[in-house]
Amino acid sequence: MSKINVRSFSNENEDGAPDLVGITTFSATSYFVPTRGTTDQRPSDHVEVGSLRYNYDTKNLEFYRGKTIGWASFELIDPDLDGGTRALFGGGYTPSTTNVVDFITMSSLGDAQDFGDMSDINMSKGSTASRTRAIWAGGNSEPASNVDKIHHVTITSKGDTTEVTGILTVARRSTTGVSDGSRAIFAGGRTPTTQNVIDYFNIASLGAANDFGDISRASSVSMGALQSSTRGCWGGGYTPSINSISYITMSTLGNSADFGDLLFASGQTTGASNSVRGLYNGDTDINYITIATTGNAQDFGDLSANSAYPTGAASPTRAVFHIGSAHPSVVNTIEYVQIMSTGNALDFGDLTQGRQMRSGACSNGHGGL
C-alpha cells in the first residue's frame, strides 16, 4: 500500500479541496476539516450523493441526499431520552378545544407531564417529527375555521410552541403526517370537503409547502399515518370509512400507490411504526404491516377499549396509543405494545387531561428516523 505524507493540498485552481476518488482512508490523532459555508452557499450542481460539508448557520455537519431532498443535517440525540425517544401529544378536545401539550418518555411507564402550550386553541391537527423538532399542521378552531399554519417545538426542551402561518397549500383539518427526518409530508384532510392533496416542506427551514402529489384513495380524512426511512403509509380513514392502505416513496414526488388492506374499516385510524413494522389502530383493533413489502395487514391484538379519534407514536421498540374517546366519554388513557411482538395493549399511563379530536401525537424515535 502506498503512503503520502503532506501538510496540505488543494485542487488545480488552489481555491478549494481536491476531488478524492476511490477508497480513501484518513488516519490521524487530530482532526479532519470538511468543506464549509453558509446555508445559502450550499452547492447544488454536480454534487455527489453522500458529500459532506459543515454549515456555519446551523452549526451542524450535513450530507447531500440527492437533488430531490438536498442537504440534511446530522443530529445529536439526547442520551437522557431513551435513545432520543420522547412522544408529545398536542391539542384536542376536552370537551372544549385545548392547547395543552403533554409528553412521555417512551422507555418509562407512567403518566404524561406538561410540556407547554400551543400558541392558539386548536384541534384535529396532523403531526410528525424529526429527531429534534415536533410539527403540528392544519387543524380547526371553534366553531370550524380551518387553518394552514403549523406549530413546532424542540422536543428536548419544554416550552410553548412557535407558530408559522401560510405553510400548507390548502387550509384544512384532519390531515396526517409522515417524515423521513428532513421532510414533513401531510396528506388528506377536509375543508370541510374531502381533500386528496399531499404537501411537503423542509422541517429545518419551515418554508411554504410544495405539492407532492395526491393521495389516490376514496377516503382521506383522519387516516392513520406511519413510516420507515423511505416509505410513508396511510391507512383507514373516511368519508366513508374504508380499509385501504396507500404508500409513497418519500424522496420521490408523485401520487400514492396501493399497498393493501386493513382487516378493519375505521373512519378514525391512527398509526405508529419503527423502521420495519407499522401498526394501525381503529376502534379496538390493532393490525400490522411490514413496511418494505406490500400486502394486506395482519391481526396484532386489541386495545382495552373502543377508541375514537385515537393518536399514536413510536420508539424503535414500543408503540403507544392515546385511546381518545371511548364512546361517549373523553378519556386520558395511554396504552402500549411491543412493536415486533403481537398481543393486546397494556396500560402505559394517563395524559394530563382527557381529550379527543386527534391530540396530535408524534415522537423523535419513529420509523422514519
- CATH number, domain at 182? 2.120.10.80
Residues 294-308 pLDDT 10s: 999 999 999 998 888
pTM greater than 0.75 (yes/no): yes
Co-location of 302 and 337 in the same domain:
yes
Co-location of 18 and 154 in the same domain:
no
Co-location of 140 and 220 in the same domain:
yes
Query: C-alpha 5: how far from its chain's center?
Result: 46
Whether 191 contacts 240, CB under 8 Å: no
Please report the pLDDT score of residue 78 as a whole number.
44
**Residues with Cβ within 8 Å of residue 319, at least 6 apart in sequence:** 272, 273, 279, 312, 313, 336, 337, 339
Residues 242-266 pLDDT 10s: 999 999 999 999 999 999 999 999 8
Question: Looking at 43, 74, 105, which one is the last position of a domain?
Answer: 74
Co-location of 229 and 284 in the same domain:
yes
Considering 42-46, 57-61, 149-153, the range whose residues carry the highest mean pLDDT is 149-153
Co-location of 22 and 142 in the same domain:
no
pLDDT above 90 for 16? no
Cα separation, 65 vs 88, in Å, equals 28
Instruction: State how far the alpha carbon of 237 is from the alpha carbons of 47, 61, 107, 301, in Å.
Output: 41, 40, 30, 20
Range of the domain at 339: 86-363
Domain tally for the chain?
Answer: 2
Q: For 180-238, give the DSSP string.
A: -SSEEEEE--BSSSB--EEEEEETTT-PPPEEEEE--SS--BS-EEEE-SSEEEEE--B
Co-location of 124 and 60 in the same domain:
no
Question: Looking at 39, 74, 109, which one is the last position of a domain?
Answer: 74
Where do we find the cell 384535529? 124
Co-location of 136 and 42 in the same domain:
no
Please report the pLDDT score of residue 261 as a whole number.
97
